Amino acid sequence: MQRAQLELDAPGLDRPGTVIRYGHYGRPVIVFPSEQGRAWDYESNGMVGAVSHLIDEGRVKLYCVDSFDHASWSDRGLPLEERARRHHAYQDWITEQVVAYVGSDSAGAGDAIVTGCSMGAYHALQLALTRADLFPIAICQSGNYDPSTWHGWGERGDAAYFTNPVDYVPHLGGDHLDWLRSRLHVVLTVGQGAWETHPTGSLPSARQMGHLLAEKQISHDLDVWGHDVSHDWPWWRKQIAYHLPRYC
């Protein structure tokens, strides 16, 4: 399996960001780590191995990226609005620096899949909803999609609103909603076992987001696994091995 690691400038963030590429050919898949994770976490936790046959067969190329959650959503000392503004800098890094690299490295870079586990699932959904021109497929595993529940405090302004799918999806409409309906597909997968309800809120959040997407007739799958399925890597490996082959 071909593997390459590089550092990309990250204007507005506190350090360059790491990207690790796996594979030689195939549909690009941008992978977000779990909360405060680094680009190598996906490999370290067996997720790359879980889809290695797709990589070896030239069906996908994974681009695993750093998070910068430590400077945004995970910094409880900041009010929610400032956390959301800092998230925008991270999103700009993805859509400008990372996408430019993917575009120079892979054909079909404007048709990439985004995926992630736990907080990485939020990043995948947020990018797909706001930049479906780049990311028409999101595979979201055990996410919580309401940042206002993440120990938020302070007044909420535009930045918090537009980074919270629970806030803005109910108000989607017009030509933009029609375009999303024609372009976007979201997979929300979650278990019913340990840590999926408490303390993560992943199970109720997935069900809520599935309901909101259904109301807007945005294509999606709400895939709820069994009561033995916990918020943890062994199950996430099984889920990505099941879902990713459907789109490459």
Secondary structure percentages of the chain, helix, strand, coil, to 5? 45, 20, 35
| 123-182 pLDDT, tens digit each | 999 999 999 999 999 999 999 999 999 988 888 899 999 999 999 999 999 999 999 999
- Closest Cα partner for 225 from 214, 244, 240, 245? 240
**CATH architecture classification, 3-247:** 3-Layer(aba) Sandwich (3.40)
**For the chain, counts of helices (H) and of strands (E):** 11, 8
Which pair of tokens denotes residue 243?
């879902």
Predicted TM-score (pTM) above 0.95: yes
Other Cβ atoms closer than 10 A to 247: 17
- C-alpha pair distances (Å), 72 with each of 8, 17, 75, 85: 19, 15, 6, 8
Instruction: Report the relative pairing of strands 27-32 and 17-22 from DSSP bridges.
Output: unpaired
Q: What is the pLDDT of residues 69-80, one digit of tens each?
A: 999 999 999 999
The answer to whether the Cα torsion of 11, 12, 17, 21 is positive or negative is negative
Pick the closest to residue 231 from 200, 187, 186, 188 (CA basis).
200
Average the pLDDT over 85-90 and give the result. 95
Sequence spans of domains, the chain = 3-247
